[in-house]
Chain A
Amino acid sequence: AQSVTQLGSHVSVSEGALVLLRCNYSSSVPPYLFWYVQYPNQGLQLLLKYTSAATLVKGINGFEAEFKKSETSFHLTKPSAHMSDAAEYFCAVSSSGSARQLTFGSGTQLTVLP
């Protein structure tokens, strides 16, 4: 079984400040890890993914995440927050079965203050 824990259901940062959204995973096999963003009443958009290649993954909109096996973490960062980054962020891990269904964390609402 696989699971994801996102620490902090709400995170507020000032515009221009560092964004750090935390994600820890549990997996019995090497995981595939994802970060998605969701805007109100919309589907999910992939920010970045880790699939056992480079441990530092760069995504869209200036986001990046680092896979740390020793810490079972996959935290999402962005050096400078923009107002348009305000959204819900989900960390997810894929299962090891052939269907590779996703298991999502509980989500983190990011607020960017002017």
Chain B
Amino acid sequence: GAVVSQHPSWVICKSGTSVKIECRSLDFQATTMFWYRQFPKQSLMLMATSNEGSKATYEQGVEKDKFLINHASLTLSTLTVTSAHPEDSSFYICSARPGGDYGYTFGSGTRLTVV
């Protein structure tokens, strides 16, 4: 089946540093990928839609200069949290649509802790 691989699974970084999260489609091509953020005990909030070869589409209220998205190939999208602060600590999940049956496949998520 379609697999989305997300790395790293968890990361701890210092305030002010940047962190890059990778999302790869392993056995299919994804022209579109989605990035979500999930706070503890809450639902997933769509942050942005990543489009291969073009700019990402950000949801209202999401700072595009803080959350940089790059989708340079049909199998890789990256989310970079720039100048991270403790309030950026969260669980980030990516997703893609393998196509055909309208299903969505999710990565395993990245737990980011900013100290």
A complexed with B: yes
| A residues at B contact (CB < 8 Å) | 32, 34, 36, 41-46, 49, 51, 90, 94, 99-107, 109
Collect the chain A residues with CB atoms within 8 Å of residue B42's CB.
106-107
Q: Is residue B34 contacting chain A, with contact meaning CB distance below 8 A? A: yes
Q: For A102, what are the chain B residues with a Cβ–Cβ distance below 8 Å? A: 34, 46, 95, 104
CB distance from A52 to the nearest CB of B (A): 9
The answer for the CA separation of A43 and B95 in the assembled complex, in Å, is 9
B61 within 8 Å of A by Cβ?
Answer: no
Q: Which of B13-51 contact A (CB under 8 A)?
A: 32, 34, 41-44, 46, 49
Number of A-B residue pairs with CB-CB distance less than 8 Å in the complex they form? 56
The listed residue with most A CB atoms (<10 A of its CB), out of B6, B91, B102, is B102
Cα(A34)–Cα(B106), bound, Å: 13
Given contacts A43-B108, A94-B102, A101-B34, 19 further A-B contacts (CB under 8 A): A41-B91, A41-B111, A43-B4, A43-B6, A44-B93, A44-B106, A46-B104, A49-B101, A49-B102, A90-B43, A94-B104, A99-B49, A102-B46, A103-B46, A104-B43, A104-B44, A106-B42, A106-B43, A107-B42
Min distance, Cβ A14 to any Cβ of chain B, angstroms:
23
Dominant SS among interface residues on chain B: strand
**In the complex, chain B residues whose CB is within 8 Å of the CB of A49:** 101-103
Interface bracket on B: 20 to 34
Write the chain B residue with the least CB distance to A109.
Answer: B41
**Cα A44 to Cα B41 with chains together (Å):** 14
A43–B34 CB distance below 8 A: no
B108 touches A100 (CB 8 A): no
Contact status B106-A43, CB under 8 Å: yes
B15: shortest Cβ distance to chain A, in Å?
Answer: 23
Residue of A41, A45, A101 with highest tally of chain B CB at under 10 A? A101
Q: With a CB–CB cut-off of 8 A, which chain A residues contact B106? A: 36, 43-45
User: What are 20 residue pairs bridging A and B, where the CB atoms are less than 8 Å apart in the complex?
Assistant: A34-B104, A41-B111, A42-B108, A42-B109, A43-B6, A44-B95, A45-B106, A46-B103, A49-B101, A49-B103, A51-B101, A51-B102, A90-B44, A99-B57, A100-B102, A102-B46, A102-B104, A105-B43, A106-B42, A107-B43
